[in-house]
A and B are shown apart, each in its own frame.
Chain A
Amino acid sequence: MILELQNVSYRYRAGALALDDVSLAVGEGASVGLVGESGSGKSTIVKLMLALAKPSSGSVLFEGAPIAPAVMRRFRGAVQTVFQDPYSSLDPRQSIESIVAEPLRSLGIARGSEARSMVAESCAAVGLPADALGRFPHEFSGGQRQRIAIARATVCHPRLLLADEPLSALDVTTRIQVIDLLAELRASAGLAILMVSHDLSAIAALCDETVVLNAGRVVEHGTTATILSTPSQDYTRRLVAAVPRLPHP
């Protein structure tokens, strides 16, 4: 297992339990979808999995062991993230080249011409035009910004990508392209993906496994195909039924 939550509970200060006894594991090359309403704890799980917060109880394991300061750099290199909002997740004052190079700089992976060529390769892999490198975030549309965020997350060749609603700010054609891009990164680089989404079609397209969260608890966990076709929980059934569908041709 790359990353694992074991009986994790989490409480924000004096608030109610945001997560209640959640166990969840992502193995090498796996693809897990995390589904649930706002407030169900999806983003809290991502926060804990990124070691940006510590669980109130239970443990977060990286390669089977707690994430000690000594392994932090390796952890950051192995587990990267893409956020929902490509408008706030990119520094408006940095060029695209500098933004994408950030993990290489901060993790001490590469610099100079080696870093430049890794950045160029990563940007090309996500389909950004070659002239993008010298430009700034405000010159790009939402879909392209999300590509920039994915280029940044994958520039250091991580093993696991935690993507928190990476598609919900995107248009449908772009969404398909980003799904294809993530699927391609999965196939070519063996990248494992944990994707948080309320968009079931995106989960269906990308994730073999689905975990359904409700009020901080895992209410259903199984293969995506089973959960879509024969959901066992009421909440899952409502979720599947609420997805807007196209009229039949």
Chain B
Amino acid sequence: MTLLSVQNLGVQTPAGRALVADLSFDLAAGQRLGLIGESGSGKSVTSLAVTGLLGSGLVASGSVLLDGVQVVGASERRLVPLRGRVASVVFQEPLTALDPLMRIGRQLAEPITRHRGLRGSALHAAVADALDEVSLDEARISRAYPHEISGGQRQRAAIAIALASRPQLLIADEPTTALDVTVQAQVLRLLDDLIDARGMALLFISHDLAVVSAMTPDVIVMSSGVAVERGSIERVLSKPQHPYTAELVRSARALDDMLGQR
């Protein structure tokens, strides 16, 4: 069974404007896929629709099967068992994704307790392992509040929390966009290694072709809520077919060229 199967997904605003229209893709266990597009292209809304997290008034249509469970129109009760166990999300801004009033260690312990049933010293050890896995110093970070650590450390903590429930699919929505380039490079390498080590599937959402090309072999290019092109990253970069993709690649190349030859 396909881990994630999206068929003819549509998302509409209460006013009837389509944010996503007729989007279909499949993601098998262990597979990686990039969703790339500009702001307003519907890529983040897609990630929310996939996990049943669409905000007030947004209505999904079509079909999203997550581990065989229909997400579109599902009740919260049906969705809760999917979150964490099947799919976790890492959002762009760790400062809003983390609870500002809770120490990192407790935020990390929550999904571990919930999904793996650990308590006491076993829980403590699992929290330490989870922080260690994302190269965070357990003694210091575990007791810290989100505002006491750097942006890169926060995003590592958010990744640790997302992975703590051992999901089969990680949805990373612009996970490094808020970070400095040097930190971005570290966090991307970390994500790449962890996903490989665990054999997880990855839905990687970004506006940055260079970043996506380092993370996923295949991409879907979205524009105004529609998938305008899909294929291997090499093909999309070398022979873009849709005018929008061509523009995107041209822009990315132009910025890349400004830095000169490697």
Contacts and interface: CB of A to CB of B under 8 A. Distances in A.
A198 B180 contact: yes
Interface string A163-201: 000001011111110000000000000000000001111
A239 B255 CA distance: 16
A243 to B, nearest CB: 6
A92 interface: no
Nearest to A202: B255
Given A141-B39, A244-B185, A176 B213 contact: no
A228 B182 contact: no
B259 A204 contact: yes
Interface in A5-62: 37-39
Interface residues of A, number: 33
A172 B209 CA distance: 8
B182 A242 contact: yes
Given A173-B251, A175-B255, A37 B211 contact: no
B259 A242 contact: no
A198 B188 CA distance: 17
Given A245-B210, A246-B252, A247-B234, A205 B247 contact: no
Nearest to B207: A171
Contacts of A202: 255
A93 interface: no
Contacts, number: 90
Given A38-B180, A173-B38, A201 B255 contact: yes
Given A172-B248, A176-B254, A244-B208, A249 B237 contact: yes
Interface in B208-261: 208-211, 213-214, 233-234, 237-238, 247-248, 251-256, 258-260
B222 to A, nearest CB: 11
Give the interface SS of chain A, mostly helix, strand, loop or mixed. Answer: helix
A56 B79 CA distance: 55
Contact of B258 (A204, A239, A242): A204
Given A201-B255, A229-B260, A172 B181 contact: no
Contacts of B208: 172, 244
A200 B259 contact: yes
Contacts of A201: 255-256, 258-259
Interface string B158-176: 0000000000000000000
A143 B258 contact: no
Interface in B169-210: 177, 180-185, 188, 207-210
B262 interface: yes
A127 interface: no
Interface of B: 37-40, 150-151, 177, 180-185, 188, 207-211, 213-214, 233-234, 237-238, 247-248, 251-256, 258-260, 262
